[in-house]
Amino acid sequence: MLQLISFLIHGIQPFLIPICFIVAWTITILVVLSLWTAARDSVSTAKQMHQIPCTNCQFFTTDYRLKCTVHPSTANTEEAINCIDYQPKTNPYLY
């Protein structure tokens, strides 16, 4: 049994270096692609979130219990991007 295992190890040995080389580079490429995809998705999400106008709206409050007096359920969400009741703050120094 030991001779069979020894024979198999010596038979596979010339192929181990190329196989390990390919596996190592494949893992490296997959990690880089995964990081690139995560960064790209984060940037696109951040761009979309910066389109939410709630913080500059007259009806927006800084109270966490009632963020918007007109549409409290959609305040600071993606649904608020095209809010028809958006009014810019008349006094930007409040809050």
Mean pLDDT, each 10-residue run in order, the chain (95 residues): 87 90 97 98 93 88 86 88 87 66
The pTM for the full model equals 0.61
8 A C-beta contact, residue 69 and residue 58: no
Q: Are residues 85 and 57 in the same domain?
A: yes
pLDDT for position 94: 62
Q: Are residues 58 and 31 in the same domain?
A: no
Q: Are residues 84 and 56 in the same domain?
A: yes
**Cα–Cα distance for residue pair 66/26, rounded to 1 Å:** 50
Q: Are residues 29 and 47 in the same domain?
A: yes
pLDDT for position 95: 56
In a domain, 15, yes or no: no
Q: For a pLDDT cut of 70, what percent of the chain falls above it?
A: 96
Q: Look up residue 8 and give its amino acid.
A: L
Q: Are residues 30 and 57 in the same domain?
A: no
Q: Are residues 44 and 66 in the same domain?
A: no
pLDDT for position 20: 93
In a domain, 65, yes or no: yes
8 A C-beta contact, residue 54 and residue 66: no
Tokens of 74: 């959609």
In a domain, 44, yes or no: yes
8 A C-beta contact, residue 57 and residue 87: yes
Q: Look up residue 27 and give its amino acid.
A: I
pLDDT for position 92: 65
For 67, the domain range is 52-90
pLDDT for position 29: 98
Number of domains in the chain: 2
Q: Are residues 56 and 75 in the same domain?
A: yes
Picking from 21, 79, 29, the residue whose alpha carbon sits closest to that of residue 54 is: 79
